[in-house]
Amino acid sequence: MAGKKTGLSHQPVFRAGVVVVIILTGFALLRMIFVPPTFGVYGYYRASNLDYWATRPVAYAQGTQCDTCHGERAGFVAAGGHAGLDCQSCHGPAASHPDNPGAWQPTINPDREFCARCHGQVEGRPDTVIKQIDLDQHNPGVSCVQCHDPHRPWTMLGTRLGGSKS
Amino acid sequence: MKAIDRRTFISSGIKVLATGLLSSLVTVVLPPATGTAGGTASREWPKLWQQREWGFVVDARKCIGCGTCVWACKRENGVPMDREVYRTWVERYVIGPNDQLYIESPQGGASFDRIGGSVPEKSFFVPKLCNQCADPPCVQVCPVGATYRTGDGVVLVDRVRCVGCRYCIQACPYGARFLHPDLMVADKCTWCYHRISKGMLPACVQVCPVGARIFGNLKDKGNPVTPIMARNQVQVLKPDMGTEPRVFYLGLDKVVR
């Protein structure tokens, strides 16, 4: 007992406290280094990633945007069998078209196979939903757009072939 | 030059270390530990989420298997066109005369062809996409916190955090996830989060020629989803998995899985 030291730094509680402080500090430092910014703000993920997804570039323009310049064509479509279709369903993504109409134009595909993606007879395709043709029977080898105006499928049929379907 | 003795070196070294430790402690303590939006997310997301809850209905009776949604999704979201990976795809179920069941999805359903030989008893198309489950197993298994469900009900992947370990791909009972071939991170349908956050429709919904996909904000009066949910019998895929899918189907056959 003769050599016992009585200063604060020799109290066991103080020494244990120092150890605890060192551990907590180390944890805080490691956490600062390894946990990325904004992690845990809203949940167990980086909140800034929400902005990444919300600001991705758009390829397909808003459906009504085409009408701004092509209102006449849109009205023509709206009165026929293809009413309600989005222009970009057939013409492809066109978000970059309005900003610079000359530089990039939407695609126009006159192939028989392209129309057949919806109108070809295929097992599983409900005929209550869409009109279909047998590609082998219905004017094989002829492009659909020679008789059918794709914007209003029955109009040209009347004028060119003398039929009376309307 | 005066040589430093051991005692001076150690004591001054300790001083330098202590100063560094203290100053770093200050930087740890000063910013609030809760991490409120200080230079983080640019929007007040919780406020937006209070007004939004997205709902998705697929009318399987209307799908004609044209694949327009499959192409549109790939183009909209930068999914490689020539690789066998899809955020949304269309399956064709063919039931033969003796109840044989064939399920196919050539090119993700972007080009269905005629079936040669005998006429099937029954056949139909089923569009598939991420179900944005309310209890998503993919989120639970992620070891790095790279995937999460937003407050308005969309499961997203953090491409910076993702290490490409593929646990989530294994965990999804619907096969809705894949490894992005170029980025080597998990990728999945986001319901076009960039579009719906701007008030647009998901690309697949917008281009569907027969209206087989219906999308809307359930908290928005006049949205097209609520009346359908109210007046029809809706089903989800694999309800027994307990994932609480948030894509609701109309006219689903009992063989669909």
> How many whole angstroms separate alpha carbon B142 and alpha carbon B168?
6
B193 with A56: Cβ contact below 8 A: yes
Average pLDDT on A57-77 reads: 92
**Chain segment B58-91, per-residue pLDDT in tens:** 999 999 999 999 999 999 999 999 999 999 999 9
B148 with A45: Cβ contact below 8 A: yes
**Chain segment B114-166, per-residue pLDDT in tens:** 887 777 789 999 999 999 999 999 999 999 999 999 999 999 999 999 999 99
Residue at B14 is within a domain = no
Residue at B251 is within a domain = yes
A123 with B37: Cβ contact below 8 A: no
Average pLDDT on A20-42 reads: 94
Closest by CA to B54, choosing from B212, B189, B146, B169, is B189
Using 50, 70 and 90 to split pLDDT, how confident is the model at A11? Answer: confident
Residue at B223 is within a domain = yes
Average pLDDT on A119-144 reads: 92
Range of the domain at B228: 45-83+129-257
B234 Cβ partners below 8 Å, 6+ apart? Answer: B57, B228, B248, B249, B250
> How many whole angstroms separate alpha carbon A28 and alpha carbon A39?
15
* B176 touches B131 (CB < 8 A): yes
Average pLDDT on B182-197 reads: 97
Residue at B149 is within a domain = yes
Partners of residue B209 in chain A, C-beta under 8 Å: 85-86, 89, 118, 130
So what's the ipTM on this one? 0.83
**CATH number of the domain residue B143 falls in:** 3.30.70.20
The count of residues in chain A is 166
Residue at B71 is within a domain = yes
3-state secondary structure B85-138: CCCEEEEEEEECCCCCEEEECHHHHCCCCCCCCCCCCEEEEEEEECCCCCCCHH
Nearest chain B residue to A28 by CA distance is B28
Computed over every residue of chain A, the mean pLDDT equals 88
Task: For an interface test with B, give the residue of A53, A113, A121 to mutate (most B CBs within 10 A).
Answer: A53
Residue at B160 is within a domain = yes
- Would an 8 Å CB–CB cutoff place A107 in contact with chain B? no
Q: Which residues pair with B148 in a beta bridge?
A: B156
> How many whole angstroms separate alpha carbon A85 and alpha carbon B255?
31
What tokens appear for B143 in the block? 């070891």
Q: What is the pTM of this model?
A: 0.84
Residue at B22 is within a domain = no
| pLDDT exceeds cutoff 50 at A84 | yes
Q: Which residue has the higher pLDDT, A81 or B118?
A: A81
Identity of the amino acid at B77 = N
> How many whole angstroms separate alpha carbon A48 and alpha carbon A63?
29
* B250 touches B124 (CB < 8 A): no
Q: Hey, which bits of B165-207 come out as E strands?
A: 178-179, 186-187
| pLDDT exceeds cutoff 60 at A162 | no
| pLDDT exceeds cutoff 80 at B167 | yes
Report how far apart the first and last C-alpha atoms of chain B are (Å, whole number).
82
Computed over every residue of chain B, the mean pLDDT equals 90
pLDDT score recorded for residue A163 = 43
Domain count, chain B: 1
pLDDT score recorded for residue A165 = 43
Long-range contacts for B26-34 (Cβ within 8 Å, ≥24 apart)?
A: B27/A32, B28/A28, B28/A29, B28/A32
Instruction: Give the distance from residue B241's alpha carbon to the nearest chain A alpha carbon, in angstroms.
Output: 23
Using 50, 70 and 90 to split pLDDT, how confident is the model at A115? Answer: very high
Using a 10 angstrom Cβ sphere, with 0-12 exposed, 13-18 middle and 19 or more buried, the burial of residue B212 is buried
- Would an 8 Å CB–CB cutoff place B253 in contact with chain A? no
pLDDT score recorded for residue B35 = 42
What tokens appear for A29 in the block? 């430092």
- Would an 8 Å CB–CB cutoff place A106 in contact with chain B? no
* B182 touches B80 (CB < 8 A): yes
Residue at B118 is within a domain = no
